[in-house]
Homo-oligomer: A and B are copies of this chain.
Amino acid sequence: MSSAAELDTVLAAGGPGLAAGLRRTEERLAGAAANHGEVLAGHAGGTLAAGGKRLRPLLLLVCAGQEDPGDDVVAGAAAVELLHTATLVHDDVLDGAPLRRGRTTVFAAAGRDAAVAAGDLMFARAFAELAATGCAPAIAALSEASSALAAGELAQRADAWSPSVTVARYLERCRLKTGSLFAAASRLGALLVGRRADVASVLGDFGLRIGLAFQILDDVLDVSGPADRTGKRRGTDLLDGTVTLPLILARERDAELASLDLRADVRDAAQAEAACERVAATGALDEARATALGHVESAKAALAGVELAAAQRRTLAAIADGVVARYA
């Protein structure tokens, strides 16, 4: 969903209500960081303003399906993006990352202390936004997702450089780290407009599968490149020791890859590039892509069981296709 063309397709399907909702979400995000001390507001505001795909607010707005999104829905859209951004800011602290979304990270600009505090503030503001709606099931859904994000982050770091990460373990990590918040965003959209719990649950399942597909395809892209499209060098996951689906599948097919010690053998860009080539040569990328596409298809199929407005159904399908198109 990073390219303008894919977003345009979704916005066209969603109509003026969706565009207005996204605009108001931006305004709300800009306001959320203010009033908590100038320094903190600067760090948090700058990070939020740096943007991103706003996929989670988009899912929430479409699942809410209002022609003129109400304040509660916009608050929810801001809340999911605040939570997402909070985790990114903390991830950057742990990674010591200098850049994110093409901008200097809070960590790099202001140091570890400011970045941990700015992330904590964004966590707090996420719940403050949602608390303003008075919708307790929505708050419960966000806090569950927030727990899952923390667990996912830790699981990923626990698995770093491991030679024995299974496909099941990898998928569970994707669920925790990415799927849970996509699911929560979709559920929140339904809950905040008072839809029945079973409808919220189906939409949550849609979001979960889209999130899994998104994460898998993102991991494929890290191996496949090209760098001029992804904005980062190939194999950054391998250099970080992050074991993703392409490598797991490739290890099953190539004994030499199976015995590769990431920590010892993949230490610079050239070695990472070579490892990516070798993973690609096994056909693992196609298999990983197929897994992701399977999740997208099952996401779309899940929608058949729920009553939705025609425009809403069309827009959700456009989001699902957009996730795939991004990586086509």
Contact = CB atoms under 8 A, between A and B. Distances in A.
Contact of A147 (B90, B116, B124, B132): B124
29 contacts: A36-B150, A39-B155, A40-B150, A87-B120, A90-B120, A93-B112, A93-B116, A94-B113, A94-B116, A114-B157, A116-B116, A116-B153, A117-B150, A117-B151, A120-B123, A120-B146, A120-B150, A121-B150, A121-B151, A123-B123, A123-B146, A124-B143, A127-B143, A128-B147, A131-B136, A131-B139, A131-B143, A132-B140, A134-B136
A37 B120 contact: no
A43 to B, nearest CB: 8
A179 to B, nearest CB: 15
A54 to B, nearest CB: 22
Given A116-B90, A154-B37, A155-B37, A147 B125 contact: yes
A124 B150 contact: yes
Interface of A: 36-37, 39-40, 87, 90, 93-94, 112-114, 116-118, 120-121, 123-125, 127-128, 130-136, 139-140, 142-144, 146-151, 153-155, 157-158
Copies held by the complex: 2
A90 B139 CA distance: 23
Give me the 5 closest cross-chain CB pairs, A-B, nearest first.
A124-B146, A128-B143, A134-B136, A131-B140, A121-B150
Nearest to A124: B146
